[in-house]
Amino acid sequence: MNFTSPTKGTMTFEQMYQDIMSYVRDAPNESYRLIVGSDSHTRDDMCYVTAVIIHRLGKGARYYYRRNRRRLITSLRQKIYYETSLSLGIGSKLAERLSDNGHIDLDVEIHIDVGQKGDTKDLIREIVGMVTGSGFDAKIKPDSYGASKVADKHTK
């Protein structure tokens, strides 16, 4: 499972995790958010991007992304569920590594590409329930910039 850092290039999950921890160690007294969000774009197939963002509140951020292609999904519900499952998969892996290494103070947020406006408004309750039921904080638009801005940027 490889990720891309815009500044450091291709990284394994472990290298990305170590880079995140290094970023946190550089300023240990700051507040952080660890965010995972996914988005997709339709072409002949579907381009899915999952972004991992370590946000040093008020002081910038680093991010990493993973792109993959899958068959075309025409159902909006299926597409949103798949995007969310991608985020939950990476979020779970990050949470496990954080827990194993004593970093339980760094919570993982899942940013979902749904909002009160548009076709996804009917999916909010079930998708947010899926995320919170998995033990993560869920953010929706306009607060889900991990999905709607960062991941979206790399789907095109």
3-state SS class at 78: helix
Query: Dihedral through CA 75, CA 78, CA 79, CA 85, nearest 10?
Result: 180
pLDDT exceeds cutoff 90 at 74: no
Note the pLDDT tens digit of each residue in 95-127: 999 999 888 788 899 999 999 999 999 999 999
Note the pLDDT tens digit of each residue in 15-55: 999 999 999 999 999 999 999 999 999 988 999 999 999 99
Residue identified by tokens 């850092």 is: 5
Predicted local distance difference test score (pLDDT) of residue 133 = 97
Q: What is the value of pTM for the model shown?
A: 0.95
Predicted local distance difference test score (pLDDT) of residue 73 = 86
Predicted local distance difference test score (pLDDT) of residue 44 = 83
Predicted local distance difference test score (pLDDT) of residue 53 = 98
Q: Which of 142, 153, 156 has the alpha carbon at shortest distance from 63?
A: 153
As a whole number of angstroms, the distance between CA 140 and CA 127 comes to: 10
pLDDT band at 137; cut points 50, 70, 90: very high
C-beta separation of 52 from 36 below 8 A? yes
